[in-house]
Amino acid sequence: MNPTRALLRVVAFALLLTALFSTASGQIEAKNWGKNTSGASLAFYEGPRQKSAQGTILTYNLIGKGFPAEVAYTLWQWKPDNEPKAVMQGVSFDKRGVLVCSGRQGFCKGDGPDDPINIKTTAVLGEPKRMAVVSPDGKIASFAEAIPFPIEASDKNCKLSVVRMDALAETVVARGSGFTPNESLTVTTQSNDEGATTKNNAGPEGDWTSVIIGAPKGQSKGKTSISVTGQSCKVAVSFAWGVGSNHPM
């Protein structure tokens, strides 16, 4: 299946930034983001990338499974530095599981029946693209995340990645995996001339997550490095933050 072959309509992320409506019962808060309904799943399907003067143009479709038919769902987006927003009403899935505007009464309309909803955007290093499809009453929901240009490193079975929490990467989420379950970890961070070393523990699945504020007070830009050392591996990443760090790739 290649849903991009039948793409007729483009919904740019610039358009998606404007919420077309809101529902009190189906409102999604950041703290509830990612809590999938049992049996439902949602994933990004990426089409070919194109180079442009504004950065790499990314094209996505959303593919869903486990969503009951005949429901007019709501499409949501969550960008760094913002709260989740409802961006389109009346979406549904075709027989292939592609998110579409069916054109039927009570559903959104595109350029034809079951018109796939295409998302075109650019991205900066470590920026997450996060979308959700939710029923009007909020009882059916699933979430998708894509990081087109990840900040990541690996060593043996261990992996470390960093995701922007804000546009300038002054706050990030560091995610580690592949460590020995519950083992002691040494975490070292360095942002410009400020550094720290702390002890942490991996989770029961060998994972580790932490929010890291990398911008020293009074400084507008710089570089942060993060390393995590376990019993059998050491992983480290570095990234620029602050002014000038958010150019599209």
pLDDT band at 7 (very low <50, low <70, confident <90, very high): very low
Instruction: Provide the whole-model pTM.
Output: 0.84
Cα four-point dihedral sign 14, 16, 20, 26:
negative
pLDDT score recorded for residue 29? 80
- CA 24/CA 32 separation, integer angstroms: 15
- The SS3 assignment for 3 reads helix
What is the mean pLDDT of the segment spanning 92-119? Answer: 97
Span(s) in the chain for CATH 2.60.40.10: 151-242
The rounded radius of gyration (Å) of the Cα atoms in the chain is 20
The two structure tokens encoding residue 35: 């809590």
Contact 246, 167 (CB under 8 A): yes
pLDDT score of 240 more than 90 = yes
SS (H, E, C) 175-231: EEECCCCCCEEEEEEEECCEEEEEEEECCCCCCEEEEEECCCCCCCEEEEEEEEECC
The answer regarding whether domain 151-242 maps to CATH 2.60.40.10 reads yes
pLDDT score of 81 more than 60 = yes
pLDDT score recorded for residue 36? 92
pLDDT band at 19 (very low <50, low <70, confident <90, very high): very low
The two structure tokens encoding residue 23: 């529902």
Residues 6 or more apart in contact with residue 20 via CB below 8 angstroms: 86, 87, 88, 89
Paired with 85 in beta bridges are 77
What is the mean pLDDT of the segment spanning 24-38? Answer: 77
Question: Mind listing the pLDDT tens digit for each residue in 207-218?
Answer: 999 999 878 888
Q: Considering the chain, what percentage of its residues have pLDDT values greater than 90?
A: 82
> Considering only CA atoms, which of 121, 207, 204 is closest in space to residue 158?
207
The two structure tokens encoding residue 171: 């706050």
pLDDT score of 20 more than 60 = no
Question: Mind listing the pLDDT tens digit for each residue in 148-161?
Answer: 999 999 999 999 99
> Considering only CA atoms, which of 238, 233, 231 is closest in space to residue 156?
233
**The CATH fold of domain 3-146:** Immunoglobulin-like (2.60.40)
Paired with 212 in beta bridges are 172
What DSSP letter does each residue of 96-158 carry, written as one string? TSBEEE--STTS---SSTTEEEEEEE---TT--EEEEEE-TTSSSEEEEEE-SS-EEEEETTE
Write the DSSP symbol of residue 5: G
